[in-house]
Structure 1
């Protein structure tokens, strides 16, 4: 015979309508909460985790027939959190790559200090026209400041403007501009636009090492009368630092490049 337990519910599914509605509202808020958390943590790239959970929870609720506005909004916010996290991942990756590459460039450029540059004859475009001169400073000049630039780059224009402001205080320093991307006429017009009336190396001139392997712009290299690199810096620098560089406050002794030895 069939027996019934009097005073006990037949199953857990027999909860009243109020409890069912409260349970639906509580579960419908889960995608919304996860979507908000995904957007907040997207900078740390955690939005890809919380966003994926929010979209999955929202889709499951939608398939179960829960069509509340919080479910739709939660799925939308979760999707936005995933997209923003991906964008932040790309941004952080590019920043990290640029920092690592710039550190390598700085270290490589600093190794030029003390190396001797061969004396070669170079064609230069100046206010007097085209002339041929040695890459080493000639008396009465004590130093030759070689500035590697590229026309159209704001940092190069700022570097030329600052150099033009401090150069008159160092009459024994001559300046030479080098632009591998543009013609000498274009580079000279770019320099004059920033108040820098300096000669420009002819674009077809080949520079000796290590000057032929400049990897960042602007780069400033100072040679003494012996052709030894006294200073090599990358980027635009304050005028006070340029005064120190042009004055030769830290003279160096020529060093020969070390030969690499195999294992």
Structure 2
């Protein structure tokens, strides 16, 4: 039996799969979910061992091979084949891997993992993620008062967002609990620290990088352009590592453009 992935499905149209980053949950896509559902059959998933999804069975490694396999098995159960895939951070790397393996009609990767230029880039991500993980263990009695003010939410969320004050208090708390309880965090983190994306993606692909990313810094977009010269590369100005919060309208436009490019390519090939 495959590992069951918790998911939210909404809308109609071409299938669009949304994949969150390490330590996050499918609610990361809430700022854009309803807008995307106006045009697509949107499926936002919790990766195995995150959010409400069960972890892998004991002894199963948190590798890209297993991530793609489990997602593919769940998509098959849901009656979905080759969706357009959108991912952020770890989810962006998985989206690219799915594109390279023929599992996606198009790929939109938002600040994707897998393009570290040097040890410095890896250390920035290491410290940022460990700090986030440790902060999730703060008692809620301490955190809630700080979250009640917009300034507090902006300060606490500054590693991931420019505009963390836009996130409701209960959503902030839910994200913290998901990060605290995510059993897959450390095994995924260990695997991801040495991961590098080197494959070719033959479907329409967009790499969109947040210019104010404090986890996977914007300079890594240059390496992404070298590795994937045929992809469309765009900047996400004034956005942090999770850009769906900072500029949801821009993220929807980026996704729409990628999907439209895929449709045009398929029409030309027909």
TM range (shorter): under 0.3
Normalized against structure 2, the TM-score is what? 0.23
Normalized against structure 1, the TM-score is what? 0.23
Higher CA-based Rg = 1
Greater relative contact order (CA < 8 Å, ≥ 6 in sequence): 2
